[in-house]
Amino acid sequence: MNTSFKLPGTVEWKNGELYFLDQTLLPLEIISEKQENAEQVWDSIKRLKVRGAPAIGIAGAYGLAVGMRNKLRLSADGFLKELARCAEYLNSSRPTAVNLSWALKRIVGRVSESGLDSAEAMYRLLVTEAELIHAEDRAICEGIGRHGAGLIKEEAGVLTHCNAGSLATSGIGTATAPMYTAHAEGRRFRVFSDETRPLLQGARLTSWELQRAGLDVTLICDNMAASVMAKGWINLVIVGTDRVTANGDVANKIGTLGVAVMAKHFGIPFYVACPSSTVDLATACGADIEIEERDAEEVTSFGERRTAPENIKVCNPAFDVTPNELITGIITEKGIIKAPYGETLVRLFGK
């Protein structure tokens, strides 16, 4: 699908140089920052300069290229050892989103099994594989859009949480892909974007990109979602995900579980948009997912102003887990799958 709008590239690889759109500055400033080394890539992922499960997978893949480009004088064995070390280091930046570890393992495995006998050849293969991951993500986003657009009916109200849009991927997003596709097909509908405390990804990112694309979007505080549902304004919920386990449990931005519970109460279909790179069949269920705990300052301050007492205890998990029984369906690039998820996920993504 060709879209009529242009958003800045979340991750860009230009002539062997890596750039991230600094999302911590949005929507007030649009600045792409050159990534000079693996340490800077790690920091950019950790600090959410680049964020969103598919985007950080791509960022990690190119981060390996940045980290290994000065290792070309090593022996083949030395290069492989440094590659494994660099991948392990980059993977430590954010543990919950499976795309990062998936992309890093894919590249390390591809290079290790290539049989190449020089660092230069291995590096060229590394870059080629990263570029392939990048291109695949664009196609996956398009597929999710095609399969999910039919869920959005004329004059519908669609609620989303956090940002699973263009800024979280290299294409038209995951949760937003059906919205962009339906919009391009001429359907009229209204999107409600949760602000998504504490880092306001829904306010700063989702509402910004949807507005730029010409969609009818309304920003709401997180605690307005139940009231908006009660008014009958919401007909459909579509959210993204950072990991889908073998039984269909879903880890996504903190607050997603609450939205799912409310949707169940009001009888509203709750869909999860999930690229194949986010399916984790090696993890049995949501209880087994490592949930990232972030700095207390994200909760104790609003912008640059402190809003909580000094020395207050803070709980700040970045994600929660929505159990599969609250999920109406999972939108993938291969189609919409329904329960029993343990069977359908294996059938589509088992190999």
- To the question of whether residue 109 is assigned a binding role by annotation, the answer is no
Token pair listed for 217 = 């979007």
Whether 288 sits among the annotated catalytic residues: the reply is no
Instruction: Give 167's Cβ-side CA count (13 Å radius).
Output: 27
Q: Position of tokens 């169940």?
A: 264
Contact 290, 96 (CB under 8 A): yes
- To the question of whether residue 138 is assigned a binding role by annotation, the answer is no
Question: Alpha helices, DSSP H only, in 69-150?
Answer: 76-91, 98-112, 119-148
**Segments of the chain assigned E as strands:** 11-14, 17-21, 32-35, 156-160, 189-194, 216-220, 236-239, 243-245, 250-253, 270-273, 279-280, 301-302, 305-306, 319-322, 329-332, 335-337
Catalytic residue, candidates 222, 242, 249, 320? 242
The residue among 63, 53, 279, 55 whose CA lies nearest residue 169 is 55
Cis peptide bond N-terminal to 309, omega within 30 = no
- To the question of whether residue 201 is assigned a binding role by annotation, the answer is yes
> Going by C-beta distance under 8 Å and a sequence separation of 6 or more, which residues neighbour residue 240?
52, 53, 162, 163, 164, 168, 173, 174, 175, 252, 253, 272, 273, 274
- To the question of whether residue 23 is assigned a binding role by annotation, the answer is no
How far is residue 211 from each of residues 64, 177, 253, measured CA to CA in Å?
Answer: 34, 15, 22
Cis peptide bond N-terminal to 8, omega within 30 = no
Angle (nearest 5°) at CA 29 between 214 and 196: 65
Instruction: Give 65's Cβ-side CA count (13 Å radius).
Output: 25
Sign, Cα dihedral of 338, 339, 340, 341: positive
- To the question of whether residue 253 is assigned a binding role by annotation, the answer is yes
Instruction: Give 33's Cβ-side CA count (13 Å radius).
Output: 18
- Which residues are part of a known binding site for substrate? 51-53, 94, 201, 252-253
Q: Please report, in range form, the residues annotated as the binding site.
A: 51-53, 94, 201, 252-253
Residues with a catalytic annotation lie at: 242
